[in-house]
Amino acid sequence: MPDTFLASPSNRNRAGSRPRNGGTLGPGALALAVLVGAPSLVAGAAGQKTDPAGTQAPAGASEKGRGTRTGSEWFDRGMELHESERWDAAIDAFRKALEAGYREEVAAYNIACAQARKGDEDLAFQWLDKAMQGGFDVYGYLDDSDLDSLHFDPRWTELKKKARQAKAGRDQAKTRRAAERFDLLVARTPRDGRALYDVGRELLRTADYDRAARAFVAAAETGVREGTSLYNAACARALAGQKPEALDLLQRALDSGFDDPDQLREDDDLDSLRAEPRFRQLVTDAEELTRDGFPSLGARLLRSQMVAEGEEAATRFEGYLKRHPGSGRGWSNLGYASLAAENDRQAVRAFRKALELGYRRPATQYNLACAHARLKEKDEAFAWLDKAIDAGFHSDHQIENDDDLFNLRRDPRFAKAVARARKASGGIPDEP
């Protein structure tokens, strides 16, 4: 989602990349470039690692002369063999580099990559473990394409957990500072939701899952990115193996408006939950509740298409509400779809129900103002608009330019409402 942090590692900074002769530096190759000190290493096809010119074994080196190679020469030879997809020979070369004491942790990682590429998953996991024990940052390179064959192995989830913990262990000072900052923030009154959200991110990165979850929940309780905050708290609990708590938080995230079914399906932070029937139901619910792609660009340009899409979406949300009548988000979505379908009276009923259930009070009160304005019920519209502003809806730009409020614009109360929202916001829009 735009302007949100999701807990998945795919959303965190990876090792950087830079162009070289039209190519890009792959994550595994960058690790080798940094740790080995090579001038530059570029990723070849299918994740193959290649040496830059001048770092291969000396030209003309014979089989007879291999026994006298240095560790760095064996390492370079391993790189050359890996590029040629000669996995067994590459493994042998990297083992000799390791035995010679040359960049042992990187050599161990490269052996794991070669074992994975040749299909020996048991040995690949053993060597990844050795690389971690030697200090190699496996967590930073889990997206190396050489390791793709391991992703469906049950041990992959455990490896990611160990790699994350190992990374956190290497940065204990940062972990301690994040924990201290969390303790200070939760003791303050009133609580700073944005600061709690930010420290939750830090704690999640350092694998302090309990504090991370608590920070995100506290941020949600202040109204800061409520759906996303609760989703991130669920990720923290899932990573800690606390399945019931994680599933409860995911339900709360959906109820609070988290709207990214793809993230829910694909986020590897939630791997421990995927076998749970309740998780599968949550994914189904997310798909039924989503407003992603609605209305379409065509609907924004063509009124008849907007009405048709609104009616279709309203039918979908009505079906969901028959099974989940207590979903404030479901009622809010029905109100939104009803406005698109030009069924403004139904929109009023739906938004009032959402408000009764406590769903996003400022935005829901604003939407009630819009529905009444469209019905030319000006007094009711201004009453709800005033309540929305009092509750924290301060987007003067949204109020001033929303076509749903067109019928109010010539009323003197409209300019006053815009001015009051602008004063409350300090000139900074606060979108619904």
Same domain as 208, residue 150: no
At which residue do the structure tokens 């053993």 appear?
A: 126
SS (H, E, C) 155-211: HHHHHHHHHHHHHHHCCHHHHHHHHHHHHHHHHCCCCCHHHHHHHHHHHHHCCCHHH
Among candidate residues 354, 348, 428, the one with its CA nearest the CA of residue 380:
348
Per-residue pLDDT, 71: 81
Same domain as 305, residue 280: no
Number of domains in the chain: 3
104 located within any domain: yes
395 located within any domain: yes
Pairwise CA distance, residues 429 & 412, whole Å:
22
Pairwise CA distance, residues 239 & 216, whole Å:
14
Same domain as 16, residue 83: yes
Q: Average of pLDDT values for 14-26?
A: 27
Per-residue pLDDT, 427: 54
23: confidence class by pLDDT, cuts 50, 70, 90: very low
Same domain as 379, residue 245: no
Same domain as 266, residue 161: no
Return the H-helix or E-strand segment holding 42: strand 42-43
Same domain as 403, residue 260: no
Return the H-helix or E-strand segment holding 262: helix 261-266
Q: Which of 287, 321, 337 represents a domain boundary (last residue)?
A: 287
Per-residue pLDDT, 205: 87
Per-residue pLDDT, 72: 85
Supply the range of the domain harboring residue 232.
198-287
- Quick: pLDDT tens for 138-180: 988 899 999 999 999 999 999 998 898 887 777 777 788 889 9
Same domain as 159, residue 24: yes
Q: Among the listed ranges 14-18, 101-105, 295-299, 402-406, which one has the minimum average pLDDT value?
A: 14-18
186 located within any domain: no
Is residue 60's pLDDT more than 80? Answer: no
Is residue 64's pLDDT more than 50? Answer: no
Same domain as 421, residue 385: yes
- Quick: pLDDT tens for 184-240: 999 988 888 988 999 999 999 888 999 999 999 999 999 899 999 999 999 999 999
Per-residue pLDDT, 166: 83
Per-residue pLDDT, 104: 87
Same domain as 371, residue 253: no
- Averaged confidence pLDDT in the chain: 83
At which residue do the structure tokens 């709360």 appear?
A: 252
Query: Which has more confidence, 55 or 86?
Result: 86
49 located within any domain: yes
Same domain as 311, residue 266: no
Q: Among the listed ranges 121-125, 170-174, 233-237, 377-381, which one has the minimum average pLDDT value?
A: 170-174
Per-residue pLDDT, 12: 29
